[in-house]
A = this chain, B = another copy of it.
Amino acid sequence: MSIIRQDLATKDWTIFSTERAKRPFDYKKEEKKQVKKEYLKDCPFCRGNEHMTPKEIYSIRQGNDWKVRVIPNKFPALQAKKIIKATTERHIKEPYLYMDGIGSHEVIIESPKHNDNLPIMKIEQVDRVIQAYRQRFINLSKSDDYQLIIIFRNNGKIAGSSLEHPHSQIVATPFVPSYVRTKLYEAQRYFDDFGTCVYCDMIKYELKNRERLIYENDNFIAFAPFASIVPYNIIIIPKNICHVSLNCLK
């Protein structure tokens, strides 16, 4: 029998069905095993090929070598107001609304090596990647044009990645997508109902229950959400996250 669970943060329901995993597949698996090289001459993200990318915005260096590079996405979904001479104004076309595609779309090249990847990286290099995330986040958040900054990482073709060299992306948008608005709205509604922060309550429960707890240190916990929407869904969340309730502020 399957179980349907509600995600507290969005009020959305997810079906958990172990039966579904047993269905047959008549497509053959296509697997390609190949040894990846450290340098590819046609990869724009490899060390030595810096001339193939737009001018870098930010980098972390050691002597003459870069360790992490941040560059504008060459094929951006969104571009800065000054580049495209645009505004954040909403336009009306009879019943519809639209706005100019302002924003920011950057690529964080996580390593000079083509065959590197987060799970096999040295801890210092992972630290540099996080530092780059943080610096670019702080910098982009200074602009009044952006309402949301999202850092994401597609690993592999199926996830939507078009280049193999390990990289993340950072996008700043002039609007807030409704799934983010919904989370804020539901957190406020939860506070109105129970007088506590929904995320604090989740953290408290997961730390007590420990059934879905993956990792814990002084500042963060990682857990599999009660109502995961995909296999291997993980929430990594600071222990002191609360900005909803004055009671929760330390």
Seen from chain A, the residues whose Cβ lies within 8 Å of a Cβ on chain B are 1-6, 8, 10-13, 15-17, 19-20, 22-27, 30, 42-43, 74-79, 84, 86, 94-101, 157, 162-164, 173-175, 177-178, 182, 198, 201-202, 205, 209, 226-227
Chain A interface mostly: loop
Nearest opposing residue in chain B for A206, CB measure: B95
Q: Is the CB of B75 within 8 A of A6?
A: no
Complex CA–CA separation, A54 to B20 (angstroms)? 15
Q: Is the CB of A17 within 8 A of B178?
A: no
| A17 / chain B contacts, CB cutoff of 8 Å | 76-78, 101
Q: Is the CB of B4 within 8 A of A26?
A: no
With contacts A1-B84, A26-B162, A27-B157 known, what are 15 further pairs, Cβ within 8 A? A2-B76, A2-B101, A3-B101, A4-B174, A4-B175, A5-B97, A6-B97, A17-B77, A19-B76, A19-B77, A20-B75, A20-B76, A22-B75, A25-B162, A26-B164
Complex CA–CA separation, A16 to B226 (angstroms)? 34
- How close is A180's CB to chain B, nearest CB, in angstroms? 11
| A209 / chain B contacts, CB cutoff of 8 Å | 94
Complex CA–CA separation, A164 to B24 (angstroms)? 11
| A27 / chain B contacts, CB cutoff of 8 Å | 157, 162, 164
